[in-house]
A and B are shown apart, each in its own frame.
Chain A
Amino acid sequence: DARVTQTPRHKVTEMGQEVTMRCQPILGHNTVFWYRQTMMQGLELLAYFRNRAPLDDSGMPKDRFSAEMPDATLATLKIQPSEPRDSAVYFCASGLLQETEAFFGQGTRLTVV
Chain B
Amino acid sequence: GENVGLHLPTLSVQEGDNSIINCAYSNSASDYFIWYKQESGKGPQFIIDIRSNMDKRQGQRVTVLLNKTVKHLSLQIAATQPGDSAVYFCADNAGGTSYGKLTFGQGTILTVHP
Contact = CB atoms under 8 A, between A and B. Distances in A.
Contacts of B106: 42
B112 to A, nearest CB: 22
Contact of A106 (B42, B89, B98, B107): B42
Given A40-B3, A42-B104, A43-B89, A99 B99 contact: yes
Contacts of A44: 104
Interface residues of A, number: 27
Contacts of B44: 43, 91, 104
A1 interface: no
Chain B interface main SS type: loop
Chain A interface main SS type: strand
Question: Which bucket holds chain B's interface residue count?
Answer: 20 to 34
Nearest to A106: B43
Nearest to A95: B100
B70 interface: no
Contact of A103 (B42, B46, B101, B107): B46
Contact of A45 (B6, B46, B49, B101): B101
Contacts of A63: none
Residue of B4, B44, B46 most packed against chain A (CB within 10 A):
B44
Given A39-B3, A40-B6, A42-B6, A102 B100 contact: yes
26 contacts: A4-B43, A31-B100, A39-B3, A39-B5, A40-B4, A40-B6, A41-B6, A43-B104, A45-B101, A45-B102, A45-B103, A48-B98, A48-B101, A50-B98, A55-B98, A91-B44, A93-B43, A100-B34, A100-B99, A101-B34, A101-B49, A101-B100, A102-B46, A102-B99, A103-B46, A106-B41
